[in-house]
């Protein structure tokens, strides 16, 4: 039945050509699928926005065949290298036949990367595909097959804000992933994380998506010893401090995943000051007990942060009081930024796990903060001094006026009557 339909369609196409269609315009692949209707025409409609179609890449370039002939058998003859729908295992090399060819790709964009295929074969997906696992992701799994959009198109499944959703298509399917024995709740954890909220809710494409930590074409789980390098791609100061700290070799020796041990992975939350110290929310107590050196260090670093926060808050209040009295506080507000910066740097310095370095930054902030408090207090004192002076001046003037009034009245009473 299907064969009869195709023959009928080709016959109609022949009539169309005979009526004047130019030979160079013939694409029997698209024309035939279009006239066959749903679902065969969906790939033709998808091609209307496909980046490949816009660059004149034809159906035959990927699927083979001869789109210029009306002969169904000839269109799919072996000499046309017709392959039809490629198997998943064939897709990487098929896409790579163009995308890994720098000379070919240069005509479209000289700056376009051409190492996607090489990276893919090093990825966990690529390794599994070569082992014969056809379920793993290949190019079309993420980019789509027909209707492929540029990666910077917000509608593309590989646009940053859509990457988690695309990865979750497989990784969130517990039945599909059952044989791989890995969690399937990564998307839910990520969506509730500080990274996920920035990316998915605030549409901040600077926030990390799955591929920013795991890689995209070369996607692979980060090893335990490389996690700080992954996080350090963005949090470079924290990474450098941790790498220099006494914790780094200990974590490696104990096979502890560096940043992840304290902050988690997919569900990373916004860090709080309560994470450091000896309180109930302290992550330090996961390893350290009361009385040991780590416990004391955590308490000292927490105290440094609390002291600096207290001075910052006090300085801010004093500036507000001075401002309410219309005193000039712009210089003090500028200095308060320095205290704020010291507080940020102190929190960052925590990753050195060196109390002396933490206190060094803390003391710089305390010094500036205390100077702000002193200056703001002087402004407030000056306000009251001015107000007191104004009151005394007003009283003196009032007394002078009263005295003048009484003098004038006395003089008028002493004038002889007419």
In tens, the pLDDT along 61-100 reads 999 999 888 888 888 899 999 988 999 999 999 999 999 9
- Reference 191, options 164, 172, 214; nearest CA is 164
- Residues contacting residue 30 through CB under 8 Å, at least 6 positions apart: 44, 47, 59, 67
Single pTM value for the model: 0.80
Mean pLDDT for the stretch of residues 241-255: 92
Mean pLDDT for the stretch of residues 350-372: 97
Q: Sign of the CA dihedral 385, 390, 395, 396?
A: positive
Q: Sign of the CA dihedral 14, 19, 24, 27?
A: negative
**Overall size of the chain counted in residues:** 418
Separation CA 65–CA 404 (nearest Å): 116
Tokens of 172: 């969130």
Separation CA 133–CA 135 (nearest Å): 6
Please determine, for residue 222, whether its predicted confidence score (pLDDT) is greater than 80: no
The total of other beta-carbon atoms located within 10 Å of residue 92's CB is 24
Please determine, for residue 10, whether its predicted confidence score (pLDDT) is greater than 90: no
Percentage of the chain lying above the pLDDT 90 cut: 75
Please determine, for residue 1, whether its predicted confidence score (pLDDT) is greater than 80: no
- Confidence (pLDDT) at 71: 84
43-to-9, 59, 91, 332 alpha-carbon distances in Å: 17, 10, 17, 65
- Reference 10, options 356, 27, 398, 143; nearest CA is 27
Tokens of 294: 């780590």
Give the phi and the psi of residue 192 in degrees, each rounded to 5: -90, 0
Separation CA 2–CA 142 (nearest Å): 31
- Reference 380, options 335, 339, 330, 326; nearest CA is 326
Separation CA 88–CA 85 (nearest Å): 9
């Amino acid at each position: 039945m299907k064969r009869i339909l195709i023959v009928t369609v080709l016959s109609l196409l022949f009539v169309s050509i005979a009526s004047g269609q130019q030979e160079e315009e013939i694409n029997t692949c698209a024309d035939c699928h279009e006239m066959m209707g749903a679902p065969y025409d969906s790939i033709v409609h998808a091609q209307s926005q496909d980046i490949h179609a816009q660059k004149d890449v034809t159906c035959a370039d990927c699927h083979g065949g001869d789109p210029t002939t009306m002969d169904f058998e000839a269109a799919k003859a072996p000499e046309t290298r017709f392959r039809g729908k490629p198997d998943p295992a064939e897709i990487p090399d098929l896409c790579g036949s163009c995308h890994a060819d720098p000379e070919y790709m240069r005509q479209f964009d000289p700056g376009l990367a051409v190492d996607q295929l090489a990276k893919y074969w090093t990825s966990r997906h690529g390794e599994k595909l070569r082992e014969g696992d056809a379920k793993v992701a290949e190019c079309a799994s993420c980019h789509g097959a027909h209707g492929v959009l540029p990666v910077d198109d917000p509608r593309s499944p590989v646009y940053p804000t859509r990457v988690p959703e695309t990865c979750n298509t497989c990784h969130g399917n517990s039945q599909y992933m059952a044989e791989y024995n890995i969690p399937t709740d990564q998307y839910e954890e990520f969506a509730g994380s500080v990274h996920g909220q920035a990316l998915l809710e605030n549409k901040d494409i600077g926030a990390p998506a799955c591929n920013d930590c795991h890689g995209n074409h070369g996607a692979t789980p980060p090893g335990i010893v490389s996690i700080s390098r992954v996080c350090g791609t963005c949090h470079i100061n924290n990474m450098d401090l941790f790498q220099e700290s006494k914790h780094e070799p200990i974590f490696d020796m104990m096979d502890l995943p560096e940043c992840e041990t304290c902050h988690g992975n997919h569900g990373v939350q916004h860090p709080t000051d309560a994470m450091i110290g000896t309180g109930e929310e302290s992550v330090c107590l996961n390893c350290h007990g009361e009385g040991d050196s780590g416990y004391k260090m955590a308490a000292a670093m927490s105290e440094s942060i609390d002291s600096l926060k207290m001075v910052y808050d006090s300085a801010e209040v004093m500036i507000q009081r001075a401002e309410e009295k219309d005193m000039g506080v712009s210089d003090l507000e500028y200095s308060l930024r320095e205290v704020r910066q010291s507080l940020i740097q102190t929190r960052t310095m925590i990753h050195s796990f060196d109390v002396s370095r933490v206190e060094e930054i803390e003391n710089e902030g305390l010094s500036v903060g205390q100077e702000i408090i002193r200056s703001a207090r002087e402004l407030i004192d000056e306000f009251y001094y001015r107000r007191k002076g104004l009151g005394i001046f007003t009283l003196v003037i009032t007394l002078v006026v009263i005295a003048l009034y009484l003098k004038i009245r006395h003089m008028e009473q002493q004038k002889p009557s007419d």
